Chain A
Amino acid sequence: MKKCEQFKDLILTDYIDAELDRDSAGNLENHLLDCSDCRAFFKEFKNNVAMPFQQAPHQPVPAEIWDTIKKNIEDENQRTNPIADLIDRLRGLIVFPKMVPVFASFALMFLAGSATLETMHVQQAQAKDQGEYLVSLLSTADASNPSDSNSGSTPIEHYFL
């Protein structure tokens, strides 16, 4: 009996709707050959519930539906603000692929990073040049004025004075 209930569930759904795989449909059809109760149930359901819907005539679409829709669209077009419409049209013309903003952001970040590094390199080079210049001045001062070594002023003071 439990098996019959399961078959009846399939008759009401997947079997009548041709959604059942071939093996399962074959099993059910074999059962229908053996079980008069399930056979009667299938026939009753098919003739009195499934068939009326399958034979239901399609209704012709009333012509006035399109007339009303067309009129609504034309009315809306007239009411539309011309500036907003122009913006909409321009937006439609300039279409960016979705990934463009992402690539643009990466490119900007890369350029900004490069510029910062470049500035840092220049500053470092300038600092290095100044250091070397000071060292050379000190050594020059030491060599040219050995008598001044006891005057109480340092070479760096000479540089600034």
Chain B
Amino acid sequence: MEDIAKDILIRASQGDIQAFEDVYKASSSFVYNVAYRVVNNREDASEVAQEVFMIIHHKLKEFRFESSFKTWVYRITANSAINFAKKVSRTKTVPFEEAFGEGAVLNEARTQMDQEYQHQLVEKLLAELNPDQRACVVLRDIQGLSYEEIAQALNININTVRSRLKRSREKLLSVRRLVNYEKV
């Protein structure tokens, strides 16, 4: 997420719509992509992103710069996305082994570098995790946040971050072993 100058945040908090658009431009990619990966669905991600920015708009006048604006946005985004995912709790569409197993239309060897393949692979892997685990994996592996930043965003301690990542990755490894990928 890009840094935002303090004067832009102050103007946005005073109702300057142009300044708020600057805030949106600097943070929308982070917000939308985290929402998208946690709720695992484009329409729901748009809804979550809108909700996040309306919360930011309402609460910005109360923001006192005692903590980092980025951390504040990380927290609002993660909370909104996790809550949405828990509320919706969609039934899984296609299990991972069906989508990427022997009968899959996609040929892994041929499409290894294909972006759409990567995109689908990540989507199906994330579908195997619960929303809390998904948020941890997304913030770490896709957004590149440190354990400390994830702990602040999710309001949990670092050891909980560590154990959630470990359990998530063990599960993903076991799911990957179910399909017949080429042994390394």
Where the two chains meet, the residues of A that have a C-beta atom closer than 8 Å to any C-beta of B are 9, 12-14, 17, 19, 40, 43-45, 47-50, 52-59, 61-62, 64-66, 68-70, 72-74, 77, 92
Contacts and interface: CB of A to CB of B under 8 A. Distances in A.
Main secondary structure, interface of A, reads helix
B184 A40 contact: yes
A45 B175 CA distance: 12
A13 B162 contact: yes
A26 B85 CA distance: 40
A45 B172 CA distance: 9
Contact of A52 (B33, B121, B170): B121
B32 A54 contact: no
A40 B21 CA distance: 49
B165 interface: yes
B32 A65 contact: yes
6 contacts: A12-B166, A13-B166, A48-B181, A53-B142, A59-B32, A61-B29
B146 interface: yes
A74 B21 CA distance: 13
B156 interface: no
Contacts of B169: 12-13, 45, 49-50
Interface string B156-182: 000000100110011011001000010
A64 B43 CA distance: 11
Contact of B173 (A48, A56, A70): A48
B122 interface: yes
Residue in A64, A69, A72 with the greatest tally of chain B CB atoms within 10 Å? A69
Contacts of B121: 52
B65 to A, nearest CB: 14
Residue in A9, A43, A56, A70 with the greatest tally of chain B CB atoms within 10 Å? A56
Contacts of A77: 15
Contacts of A19: 146-147
A12 B37 CA distance: 21
Closest 4 CB pairs of A and B: A53-B141, A56-B122, A61-B32, A48-B176
Interface in B16-63: 17, 20-21, 24, 28-29, 32-33, 36-37, 42, 45-46, 49-50, 53-54, 57, 61
Contacts of A72: 50, 54
Given A65-B49, A66-B28, A69-B24, A59 B170 contact: no
B137 interface: yes
A12 B24 contact: no
Given A52-B118, A64-B46, A69-B24, A17 B176 contact: no
Nearest to A85: B15
Given A57-B119, A61-B29, 6 more contacts: A17-B147, A49-B176, A50-B141, A59-B32, A66-B24, A92-B14
Nearest to B58: A76
B49 to A, nearest CB: 5
B70 interface: no
Contacts of A61: 28-29, 32, 49
